[in-house]
Amino acid sequence: MTNPDDIKLDRVQARNERRRQAMRSFALFVMVPTLLTALYLLIIAPPEYTSGASFTVRGAQQQPPDILGLAGLAAPTETSTDARIVSDYIRSTAMVQALRKGAGFNESYSRFSLDPAAQISARAAIEEATRFWRSKVKVQTDINSGATSFTVRAYTPQDALRLARGVLSSTEATVNAMSRRPMTNLQQVNLDEVNRTKAELDEVQTRLAQFSGSTGVIPTSAPVTQALGLVGTLDTQIANLRAEHATMLQTFQPNSAQAQALQTKIAALEAERQRAVERALSAPGEGLANTEVEARAILLDYEFAQRAYHTAVAALESSRRDSRADEKYVVAYVPPELPQKSNYWPRLVNVIAVFFAAALLWGVGALSYSVLKEHLR
């Protein structure tokens, strides 16, 4: 017969064994991750300081109101586009290169640390440095207002402030270049056109001066010029009457009174044109007529060159006005400040979070194991 004391002792030993197993599993699955997290965050990982700024991109020319924005819908406006471009630029390779040159990027992140992930070599490839930078910078953009906010994390307050100022300075330089480069190119094209038309105008002026000095003829609105203008007017009238005559012949006979009258009118105009041509080529001789024709050609070239030069100057002035109107600049309404506290003690929240998460998972696992064990029995 089984001794009741032995049965009771076996139950106590089994209970104690289950308790020891539970404590061992609790220590393994809960306390070990918690202690490792605390060891990493409080001893290995260096404390970080955060500095940042908030800014917006503004232009000299006011933007029209965004109707969709007033209705609560995000529309792709110029302001929101600038904000997206700036956000991408802050996290880009170009920003890392700018910070390496002028903001001490390598000095800030290449110092020795027990945490290998908290440092990067000054000779690291730009792609690797960019991935590291993206883990240290955070950018937020409001597409409705065009405001952009960023924060930079570093291991000393001075490094965080210097990097934040470098980000702001590089962003401002990029925004200015974005607005100035197209207008500068346009101004250069217009300036080249001004120089070209000015050279043509000077060349025609030289020809005009040489012609007037050698012939003594100054191109003006002389009777010869008026006669040439009259010939052009008569040619236009004759062409219109001939077209009308051809149309009339489809309805009337060639010897009809209407057709004869129109033919007489055409003949009279042709005679008047011939007299105008004779006046243009008349005394004091054919040489003078040729000289007048040459003078007329030079005068037309001068007028054309002068008009082209004035048009080029007007285009240049217009591009200069547009460049001033389209110029953009960065307004930092929250400038970078020297951080006063690190994230050393606030990181304890992560240790507590790891403890409760591990305890929850351990509890679910232990309960599932006990239920499965009882079911198998």
Q: Tell me: do 250 and 341 sit in the same domain.
A: no
Q: How far is Cα 3 from Cα 301, in angstroms, rounded to an integer?
A: 133
pTM, entire model: 0.59
Confidence of residue 210 (pLDDT cuts 50, 70, 90): confident
Q: How many percent of the chain have pLDDT more than 90?
A: 30
How far apart are alpha carbons 274 and 222 in whole angstroms? Answer: 19
The pLDDT > 70 percentage for the chain reads 68
279 shares a domain with 330: no
The predicted-structure confidence for 98-109, as pLDDT tens digits, reads as follows: 999 989 999 999
The answer to whether residues 178 and 223 belong to one domain is no
Q: At residue 49, what are phi and psi to the nearest 5 degrees?
A: -115, 140
Q: Is residue 73 part of a domain?
A: yes
In a domain, 359, yes or no: no
- Residue 176 inside a domain? The answer is yes
The reply to whether 142 and 81 lie within a common domain is yes
Note whether residue 295 is domain-resident: yes
- Pick from 362, 333, 323: nearest CA to 181: 323
Q: What is the pLDDT of residue 2?
A: 56
Tell me, yes or no, whether 9 lies in a domain.
Answer: no
The answer to whether residues 57 and 165 belong to one domain is yes
Rounded CA gap, 333 and 364, in Å? 50
pLDDT for residue 6 is more than 80: no
- Shared domain check, 257 and 174: no
Q: Please state, as a whole number, how many other Cβ atoms lie within 10 Å of the Cβ of residue 96.
A: 21
**pLDDT at 123 > cutoff 50:** yes
Whether residue 227 is found in the same domain as residue 115: no
Tens digits of per-residue pLDDT, 320-359?
Answer: 666 655 567 788 889 999 999 999 888 889 999 999 999 9
The structure tokens 């004759």 sit at: 238
The pLDDT confidence band at residue 282, using thresholds 50, 70 and 90, is low
Please tell me the least confidently modeled range out of 21-35, 135-149, 322-336, 338-352.
322-336
Q: Please state, in angstroms and rounded to a whole number, the distance separating the CA atoms of residues 141 and 119.
A: 28
Domain membership of residue 230 as a residue range:
216-324
Cis preceding-peptide flag for 335 (omega within 30 of 0): no
* Domain CATH code at residue 108: 3.30.70.1130
Same domain, 314 and 343: no
| Number of structural domains in the chain | 2
Mean pLDDT of 198-210: 81
Compute the half-sphere exposure of residue 329: CA atoms within 13 Å on the CB side of its CA: 10
* 113 and 223 in a common domain: no
